[in-house]
Amino acid sequence: MRTTFHLRTLAVAIATLSVASMTNAAGLDRSGQDITAFLQDGTYAEAVYTYIDADVSGYDSSNNDPFNNNYVRGNKTGDIAESYDFFRYGVKTDINDTFSIGILYDEPFGASAEYKGDNNFVANTNPVDSAGEFANDPAPNNPVDGATTAALEPFIIGAENGTSGETTKVEVRSESVTAILGMKFGANKNFQVYGGPVAQRIQADTALRGLAYGLATGYTSHMSPDMDYGYIAGMSFSKPEIALKAALTYRSEIDHNADTFESYPLAQVIGGAATPPRAIPASQTGKIEVTTPKSVNFDFQTGINPTTLATAKVRWVPWSDFVLTPPLYNEASQASGRYGDDGLNLVEYDDDQWQVELGLAKRIAPALAISGTVGWDSGAGDPTTSLGPVDGYYSVGLGAKYNVTENWAVSAGGKYLWFGDAQGQLPTGKIVGDFQDNDGYVAGVKLSYQAR
């Protein structure tokens, strides 16, 4: 016999992808670090699969002078966003009417992008024109920097030849396991405080290729997998008779100190040209410090009538605090004498991320509910890194949940996203790409079990 949806359980019918972030929509955000599995009644378990496919394309800059920041539209980049998928799991149970425990797994942060084709993000075997200068080189109009550029051309060309045909690409993966203990209190057990430890693993690979990166062309880094720990803390309120639930959740920063390998073909040239000259290796192993950002999530739902539920989700992540500073890359930028004593970070963002999503869920049959969402993501600033040139998005989504049995249900959903236009910027401040009118979609499926 099919079960009937009760008002207070309609939240589970919301589309699978409720707070799913999009490829580089804001910083490295991916899963949205959703904890709503822990907020369900009774014993609950879910497994969620999410697939992301985006079209992020634009134009490179035909200005190949590394010391001239003017953007001049050049060649098409093609689609740089690689398809991306990840999983989320959660299980939760009540020990008694006061205490609950749960374990959640997700993949909170990530990136996947690669430039291909005929553009300045791909190493070229012949990156000069018939006059022996960089193609579209603006140096003749800039005598001071033009002279510097001319002196460096043989080295940049040499590095290009050494990586001929190789592409600029980035791959970041992370995994997170969160253990939660909750305690209900109040006359009707309406309030709950919860918290627990978080274990997080992260790894990354980056390759910079092509004339767009100037002296950094040929740079490669590999950050080995590193595990470290943080915590989660939150508070919730519920009023079952009107299906009201509200939860505010804080996740801490997590500091990583990972083994890393870097290769920088032109680092020795940069060091040799410094005043006084500095001995900088072309490659090295060492440590890199990476701090994944803290976050705050607010989840809210309330019944509108016996078959309809309204939801709201808000997420804040201070990406403006995030930096990625590989040691060799930073040392070479210091030696150049152009970027101060602190040198350059490889990745940084200007703005914090705000994400808002509003939804409605409606029971349309005893065992079937549908949901719709609209969303907005602020992005993390424009210009932004050339490794993820998207400035937020708007989204619309649809989802459905079908109760297969009294306890088991399957949900499916999708979102369409309109990305904010962004310019791709190097750490030096040079604009090397312009990306407009891009979009993408997210699709996912969830299998869930609930027993009260």
For the chain, 452 residues long, the average pLDDT of each consecutive 10-residue run is 47 40 61 91 93 92 86 92 90 96 95 90 66 49 48 70 82 96 94 98 94 90 97 96 94 97 91 84 94 96 91 94 93 87 90 93 91 92 88 92 92 92 91 94 92 86
Contact call for residues 36 and 299 (beta carbons, < 8 A): yes
The pLDDT assigned to 96 comes to: 94
The pLDDT assigned to 171 comes to: 93
Kindly state the percentage of the chain with pLDDT values over 70.
87
The pLDDT assigned to 25 comes to: 58
The pLDDT assigned to 134 comes to: 54
Kindly state the percentage of the chain with pLDDT values over 90.
63
- Of 326, 416, 328, 342, the C-alpha closest to 372 is 416
- Of 318, 261, 316, the C-alpha closest to 291 is 318
Nearest-angstrom CA–CA distance, 358 and 375: 6
Where does 265-324 have alpha helices with state H? 267-272
The pLDDT assigned to 125 comes to: 54
The pLDDT assigned to 271 comes to: 85
Segment (H or E) for 221:
strand 220-239
Tens digit of each residue's pLDDT (9 = 90 or more) over 226-264: 999 999 999 999 998 888 999 999 999 999 999 999 999
**Which pairs with CB-CB distance under 8 Å and at least 24 residues apart come from 143-148?**
145/65, 145/67, 145/68, 146/65, 148/67
CA 183, distance to chain mean position in Å, is 32
Structure tokens at 77: 């980049």
The pLDDT assigned to 19 comes to: 35
Contact call for residues 62 and 74 (beta carbons, < 8 A): yes
Helix %, strand %, coil % of the chain (to 5): 15, 50, 35
Domains of the chain: 7-451 (2.40.160.60)
Nearest-angstrom CA–CA distance, 148 and 156: 12
Name the residue with tokens 């959660």.
90
Enumerate the β-bridge partners of residue 220: 207, 263
